[in-house]
Amino acid sequence: MFITFEGPDGSGKSTQVPLLAEYLRQQGFDVLTTREPGGTRIGDQVRAILMDMENTAMRPNTEILLFLAARAQHVAEIIRPHLEKGGLVLCDRFGDSTLAYQGYGHQVDLGILRQMLRFATGGLQPDLTLLLDVDVETGLQRRRRGGDEWNRLDASELAFHRRVREGYLEMAAAEPQRWRVVDASRPVEVVQSAIRAAVSAALPAPR
Ligand code: TYD
């Protein structure tokens, strides 16, 4: 089973994913956690280009191709092999991040992006996607408080982040069988129990 985590910046994915992984491992699942962009040696190199503050000249199309390059490598090298041996993969961001950020955020044509995503992933789709939803102001504030480096991507304006969030909510509403929306403005433990409940309901019985 392939489970992805999506959400605006500062929605708390990087806190929640390891907690869920620990819980699922205790239940006997063979869990692999990974994140995008990155997850492979090549992907981490691409990530460094994307996050470099000096790369202010980067065009939206360049950015898309870099995210997709990292993803193609990630799917082939890490995600598919683990799924093929019967494991469970938890991934912090995946294709829906490209649709939300580059599509809804930077307003690149969604139809073209979907085609490019199919090319990059070989058609791999998550079985379940958790949207950790938080309003834009809360998300960006959390981010700053956490002392996270204010990277190049974060420097875009509020309006951009609002479109991203709206995009996520729209995608979740359009495909309710795959998406679960979790209110991530609540305390960590409360959000974690909501995630566990949603995932447990979707999982096969552990071996
Ligand atoms: P990261 O520091 O990993 O942030 P987070 O902890 O919020 O996931 O940076 C990832 C940034 O890249 C984030 O702002 C979302 C953006 N992004 C895209 O714009 N498109 C994509 O396809 C992906 C995977 C990420």
pLDDT of 149 above 70: no
With a 6 A CB cut-off, is 9 part of the ligand 1 pocket? yes
pTM more than 0.95:
no
CB 1 within 8 A of CB 127: yes
Residue 4 gets which letter from DSSP? Answer: E
Q: Distance between CA atoms of 73 and 121, rounded to whole angstroms? A: 9
With CA atoms as reference, report the closest residue to 39 among 7, 80, 1, 10: 80
Nearby residues of 94 by Cβ (< 8 Å), 6 or more positions away: 4, 6, 36, 71, 126, 129
Ligand 1 atom nearest to CA at 95: 22
With a 6 A CB cut-off, is 15 part of the ligand 1 pocket? no
Spacing, Cα 187 to ligand 1 middle (Å): 22
3-class state of residue 167 by DSSP: helix
Spacing, Cα 7 to ligand 1 middle (Å): 9
**What six digits make up the tokens of 47?**
């990530």
Q: Express as a percent the part of the chain with pLDDT over 70.
A: 93
3-class state of residue 12 by DSSP: coil
Give pLDDT, residue 142: 83
Q: What is the pLDDT of residues 52-104, one digit of tens each?
A: 999 999 998 999 999 999 999 999 999 999 999 999 999 999 999 999 999 99
Select the more confidently predicted residue: 25 or 38. 25
Q: What is the pLDDT of residues 152-187, one digit of tens each?
A: 455 567 889 999 999 999 999 999 999 999 999 999
Mutation pick for ligand 1 pocket among 46, 68, 93 (CB with most ligand atoms within 8 Å): 93
What is the pLDDT confidence band of residue 38, given thresholds at 50, 70 and 90?
confident
Spacing, Cα 37 to ligand 1 middle (Å): 7
Give pLDDT, residue 145: 64
Residue of the CA atom closest to atom 20 of ligand 1: 98
- The CATH code that applies to domain 2-202 is 3.40.50.300
With a 6 A CB cut-off, is 97 part of the ligand 1 pocket? yes
**What six digits make up the tokens of 139?**
């998300």
With a 6 A CB cut-off, is 153 part of the ligand 1 pocket? yes
What is the pLDDT confidence band of residue 150, given thresholds at 50, 70 and 90?
low
Q: How many CB atoms lie within 10 A of CB 153?
A: 14
Secondary element (H or E) of residue 139: helix 136-145
Residue count of the chain, please give it: 207
With a 6 A CB cut-off, is 93 part of the ligand 1 pocket? yes
With a 6 A CB cut-off, is 69 part of the ligand 1 pocket? no
CB 20 within 8 A of CB 194: no
Ligand 1 atom nearest to CA at 9: 7
Give me the chain's average pLDDT, please. 93
Q: Distance between CA atoms of 179 and 118, rounded to whole angstroms? A: 19
Select the more confidently predicted residue: 61 or 148. 61
Give pLDDT, residue 80: 98
Q: Distance between CA atoms of 108 and 125, rounded to whole angstroms? A: 21
